[in-house]
Amino acid sequence: MIRAQSAEICVESIGDSASPAVLLIGGAASSMDWWEDELCERLAEGGRRVIRYDNRDTGRSTTWPAGDPGYSGDDLVADAVAILDALSIDAAHIAGLSMGGALAQLLGLEHRDRVLSLTLMSTTLVTGDHADLPGMTPQLAAALGRTEEPDWSNREAAIQYIVEAERPLAGPGDFDEERMRALASRVVDRSNDTEAAMTNHFLLGDEDPGGRTLGELAGIPTLVIHGTADAMFPDHGRALAEAIPGARLIELEDVGHQYPPPRTWDVVIDALGEHTAGPGR
């Protein structure tokens, strides 16, 4: 547990502390559990210090009442910096997914000296570049609208809610119900407040980058990983890679708006290993 302003953040470091650090930032409503053990261990075996953590309101980190988060997106960015400070890491390779990808972009813009490289996964542009990009597909919007909140005090109901919320986000053939149920069970069992975890991040407003553009990330090696079946941010990966000078794009065939499924781990781990092997910025 480390102190970050008004919160206690639960952090795990995997691998040799002398190895280059890779800080994993999860998406909205995501505890560290979504960065699965095997994925993190394989990255660490490749000579990286892998750091994952529970965002505020998730896992073992400080929670606020459901529906009333007492913090902003800026605080989430500051939490990542506080983690690096607490672990005595001057600069790290930053990998973020969905909301975590937005936070990673803000880290690059606002705390450039702490960022060696960026890996942006299943996310969109945090600035006003390409404002004409499509929103989520009508099919996904309809599916998410049919998911009713459970009795959060009922463990099985909470687990089922998470499973069903993830189902429409996955790409074709990539929803493994048994695997997702096991993961959702772990998430619920580790959460201080599952309702807060599944609610509060979605109430945060978009952070204003103050008129800055992603062109300012020039010089920070950037890897964009995006699924071709991402119905939340369709085609946003290509636009993101175009907006950041020198960015490399890897498209994962038939992957949706989700953490990389196991069938893609060889590709993702190899790409992350290669991307974080150099000196970075």
Q: Is 59 part of a structural domain of the chain?
A: yes
Q: Is 14 part of a structural domain of the chain?
A: yes
From first to last of its 281 residues, the chain has per-residue pLDDT tens of 999 988 999 999 999 999 999 999 999 999 999 999 999 999 999 999 999 999 999 999 999 999 999 999 999 999 999 999 999 999 999 999 999 999 999 999 999 999 999 999 999 999 876 668 999 999 999 999 888 899 999 999 999 999 999 999 999 989 999 999 999 999 999 999 999 999 999 999 876 677 889 999 999 999 999 999 999 999 999 999 999 999 999 999 999 999 999 999 999 999 999 999 977 87
pLDDT score recorded for residue 9: 98
Q: Is 165 part of a structural domain of the chain?
A: no
Q: Is 141 part of a structural domain of the chain?
A: no
- Predicted TM-score (pTM) of the model is 0.96
Q: What domain range is 211 assigned to? A: 2-136+196-275
Q: Is 148 part of a structural domain of the chain?
A: no
pLDDT score recorded for residue 205: 80
- Structurally, the chain folds into a number of domains equal to 1
CATH number of 205's domain: 3.40.50.1820
pLDDT score recorded for residue 130: 66
| DSSP codes of every residue in the chain | -EEETTEEE-EEEES-TTSPEEEEE--TT--GGGS-HHHHHHHHHTT-EEEEEPPTTSTTS----TT-----HHHHHHHHHHHHHHTT-S-EEEEEETHHHHHHHHHHHH-GGGEEEEEEES---SSSTTTT---S-HHHHHHHHT-----TT-HHHHHHHHHHHHGGGSPTT---HHHHHHHHHHHHHH-S-HHHHHHGGGGSPPP--TT--GGGGTTS-EEEEEETT-SSSTTHHHHHHHHSTT-EEEEETT--SSSPPGGGHHHHHHHHHHHTSS---
Catalytic residue IDs? 98, 230, 257
Q: Is 145 part of a structural domain of the chain?
A: no
pLDDT score recorded for residue 131: 67
Q: Is 142 part of a structural domain of the chain?
A: no
Q: Is 174 part of a structural domain of the chain?
A: no
Read off the pLDDT of residues 194-225 as tens digits, 9 standing for 90 and up: 999 999 999 998 766 778 899 999 999 999 99
